Chains A and B, each alone.
Chain A
């Protein structure tokens, strides 16, 4: 396996050469990938919001934002600035402490999950032993935040929206975890790096989507429901609940929910691309291309190119999924709450259990094709 470029190793070595002790050099390195990832996540919000508005406009034969920046690209930045400057209203009857903590509880786990999103062999903040399970565990904290926001507002719409959001989130968590489990079964490990490496080798033919088509569909539906995207945006169904648990929120507290939902969308798209679409791997293996061109795979230029290609591939796959989500938004109508719960409990849960057992059976029968 191509080791890829090791930024951490080179950076730490450079600092040690400058005369720093190795402990200090590692500590200096520590915050850099995290801050970079934070910037990536924040920029992805702006891109996602812009895409959402432009594609929605396209779907409705409008133009969409066009005045702020070239082709309206800075519209989301303007929105963000506006939110920062808005007056912050805490309703008189609300519980001010819980009201302020609620959005933070929704946002923090989403950002923290970026810890395990890989953009290349070494381009990940850290390859934790529990890997993808960290994301599953962290995403289960969100319902607490929804309930807190809904309860503390002391508004009927908010409470109903918060209860709905929590019920929806827990209903789709089991199918989500079970379809991840099928991928873990094929990988023999939880590490996101291992999951991508297990898919590489045969180009796009080796991606998990061919071996886990059912799991992919279940995961995608569940991820949409977890992100509260249409057709599953019941918690904030505006015709019924005004804005659900966000009804009383204004200013930056509302902004935090907004940030949380878009970062969560981006995170889910990235996780789908890691689990099912080969992560950073190019549709044709890089080894094949370098072999055809007759250049050494370990040459610095080739390594740099393949690492950049990996980052671009991960982002392209993720944004393709974001694009699909937005198209889906304008294609399918919103489901009713009973349909939503029926879909989760009576269809996705049994199907994902069958998919899991089927994967285990296939792995026993054809060990070479399902990760030995």
Chain B
């Protein structure tokens, strides 16, 4: 193992560990804001893995779209509704947690056996490397033309749907009377009549 391969191996271990632990943090931490920031760390580790897989453009696109856009959207969403609420204690909460844990462990085992048992057809073609972005562009306009155009329609539908949902103009009954978003309690003030003269 030469120096370059050693560095790649260490990077892989660090990135993988970072990804797994930050993803666990996203799920397990009770503070939802921490979860959102750890999600950004997860995305960045995934982007590092893409670099190790010779996909520089995909790595940068991952950072741009997921960290720069999706995660900012999530953070806006959280910060705009981030009210401290006190939930009442649920009795026998451990039953739900145990059931969730069992389902998750089952899913993990299922996917794990599938991954190890499936005969993956690993491509032997040389990686496009630095030319990848040009190759992607050529594919977009030859054999992947229809998916490319459909992607724009998908984006359009997502935009329209998001605006409709966020503005809720078709659900007028569900809109609760608007509360003041930010209220500052006024301190009781004594009524002072200083300097008022009604002589003139």
Contacts and interface: CB of A to CB of B under 8 A. Distances in A.
A130 B129 CA distance: 10
User: Looking at chain A's contact residues, is the secondary structure mostly helix, strand, loop, or mixed?
Assistant: helix
Interface in B59-80: 60-61, 63-64, 67-69, 71-72, 75-76, 79
Interface stretch (A49-57, A133-141, A268-276): A133-141
Given A27-B3, A136-B60, 6 more contacts: A98-B37, A129-B132, A137-B64, A141-B68, A143-B72, A159-B79
Given A98-B37, A129-B129, A148-B37, A170 B60 contact: no
A237 interface: no
B68 A151 contact: no
A140 B57 contact: no
Contacts of B131: 129
Contacts of A140: 63-64, 67-69
B130 interface: yes
Given A129-B130, A166-B76, A144 B33 contact: no
Interface in B146-200: 182
Contacts of B40: 144
Interface of B: 2-3, 33, 37, 40, 56-57, 60-61, 63-64, 67-69, 71-72, 75-76, 79, 129-133, 182
Interface of A: 23, 27, 98, 128-130, 133-134, 136-138, 140-141, 143-144, 147-148, 151, 156, 159, 163, 166, 170, 173, 190
Given A23-B3, A136-B64, A144 B79 contact: no
A10 B40 CA distance: 41
A141 B79 contact: no
A144 B67 contact: yes
Contacts of A151: 33, 79
B130 A163 contact: no
Contacts of A136: 60, 64
**Nearest 9 Cβ contacts at the A-B interface:** A140-B68, A129-B130, A137-B60, A137-B63, A137-B64, A130-B56, A143-B72, A147-B75, A140-B64
Contact of B37 (A130, A144, A170): A144
Contacts of A98: 33, 37
A166 B72 contact: yes
A144 B2 CA distance: 37
B63 A144 contact: no
Interface centre among B75, B76, B132, B182 (most CB of A within 10 A): B75
Given A27-B3, A140-B63, A170 B72 contact: yes
Nearest to A24: B3
Contact of B76 (A134, A156, A163, A190): A163
A128 B129 CA distance: 11
A344 to B, nearest CB: 15
Nearest to A159: B79
Contacts of A23: 2-3
Contacts of B133: 129-130, 190
A173 B63 CA distance: 14
